[in-house]
Amino acid sequence: MKQQVIEDVNIMPQLDKACGLDMHKDKIVGFISGKDGSNQEFREFGTYTCELKQIRDWLQESDIHHCLMESTGIYWMSLYAILTETGIEVIVANPVHIKQMPKRKTDRKDAKWLCTLLLHGLVRPSFMPDNTQRIIRDYCRNRLFYTWQLNRIRNRLLKILESNNIKLRSVISSIHTLSAMDMIRLLAKGVTDQEQLLSCARGKVIKKKEQLIKALNGTLQTYHHTQLQMLLEDYDHVQKQVDFLDKSITEIISEHYAQAFECLDSISGIGVKSAEIIISEAGKDMNRFPTADHFTAWCGIAPGNNESAGKRKNTAIKKGNSYLRVAIVGAAWAAVRMKDSYWHALFDKLRKRMKAQKAIVAIARRLLKVVYNTLETLTIYKEKGIAHFVDLQAKAALYHNAKLSLPQNNID
């Protein structure tokens, strides 16, 4: 507990000279000052690339080696890249952690306040990934956006089919299957021959030919064929983009994160896509997070603290990295579905005293701690099974019974 308190009150070393930059879409206000208030200077710049380079030159001429800016939207990214290339240490801080002074708020006062915080070491730097991780992070996030777009296109296809009484979804589990997509492509071309449509059936779908004959008899018109063709063209284009991103991500993983990926892939519930997202968002170096609890808090699945007068109140989970949170919660659902696993038994226990959604967040938090330890040690995870859970419960029961058997001091 003492070590934890020391970490919480740790203050960064003070600086002799620093700069605060207040970022906006079309304007950047900079303020330079020494620790004793000397050599103060305000300047305003635009946001074109040539003007960002003017900021770099101004800082170099003023012998500034430390700079602070807020992570305002996406506007800080280009300036961050330009300044860090010259060796200037740029701290990007979360605006939530930088409380502005009330009233009389101006851009100049904001820049001055940022400079003051940096000079006295009163700012918490945000996690900044290296260039390789930024590339794979952008690839993974773009793949996610394209995946959402694929789902929207599939829903549009299904809507057109269902509105014309093509009951394909009632026979085939998903229109994403090869059988369903081939049939939809023939329907988009105006093909109505049953034998030709049934020839697209594969696997288990072959046994459902009688149902398919009824399901494929609809009321599609010519303009519906046109709509289906347009959607299929969009689908093929987006799928091509997803395939390209998959290939690019795989190449980066194999070149820079092969060992970390292998370790993550061994964890229960974490598959290929989940492991790629974890690496892209958190990286493979866990030294940037002091403890596993810090890592879970950064992800946004750690419970908050709300204590007053010795009473602790319920709090929701904090905001954090939404991409990593979605991936680890999905992995937690996959882990609890594995029969005879530790996670399945733990979920059953938690489910008795809380809702499933709350229980899965608790599972995700523990699973993320396993991710932290796995990446920190780069060791293969071994599923301990339900026997490990039973053993832990037995030890906890023995400890509880031993505690109750201790003599209690009677207080009158």
Per residue in 292-302, pLDDT (tens digit) is 998 998 898 87
The predicted model gives 212-222 an average pLDDT of 89
DSSP 8-class letter at 203: G
Confidence (pLDDT) at 152: 95
Confidence (pLDDT) at 2: 39
- Residues forming a β-bridge with 92: 69
- Decide if pLDDT at 4 tops 50: no
Q: What does the alpha-carbon distance between residue 28 and residue 69 come to, in Å, rounded to a whole number?
A: 10
The number of residues making up the chain comes to: 412
The bridge status of strand 66-70 relative to strand 89-93 is parallel
246-280 tens-digit pLDDT: 999 999 999 999 999 999 999 989 999 999 999 99
Report yes or no: 183 and 158 within 8 Å, Cβ to Cβ: no
Both tokens of residue 300?
């946004």
3-state secondary structure of 242: helix
Query: What is the pTM (predicted TM-score) of this model?
Result: 0.80
Q: What does the alpha-carbon distance between residue 28 and residue 135 come to, in Å, rounded to a whole number?
A: 26
Dihedral in degrees, nearest 10, Cα atoms 150, 151, 153, 158? 140
Confidence (pLDDT) at 184: 92
24-64 tens-digit pLDDT: 889 999 999 988 888 889 999 999 999 999 999 999 999 99
Confidence (pLDDT) at 276: 95
Nearest Cα to 65, choosing from 126, 123, 16, 8?
16
Q: Identify the band that residue 305 occupies on the pLDDT scale cut at 50, 70 and 90.
A: low
- Residues 275-313 as b/e (b if ≥16 CB within 10 A, e otherwise) read bbbbbbbbbbebeebeebeebbbbbbbbeeeeeeeeeee
Q: What does the alpha-carbon distance between residue 185 and residue 168 come to, in Å, rounded to a whole number?
A: 13
Nearest Cα to 368, choosing from 286, 316, 299?
299
181-202 tens-digit pLDDT: 999 999 999 988 888 988 888 8
Confidence (pLDDT) at 311: 62
pLDDT averaged over the chain? 86
- Residues 14-34 as b/e (b if ≥16 CB within 10 A, e otherwise) read ebebbbbbbbeeeebbbbbbe
Q: What does the alpha-carbon distance between residue 176 and residue 213 come to, in Å, rounded to a whole number?
A: 19
- Decide if pLDDT at 308 tops 60: no
Percent of all residues in the chain with a pLDDT value above 90, rounded to a whole number: 46
Ramachandran angles phi, psi of 298, nearest 5°: -65, -35
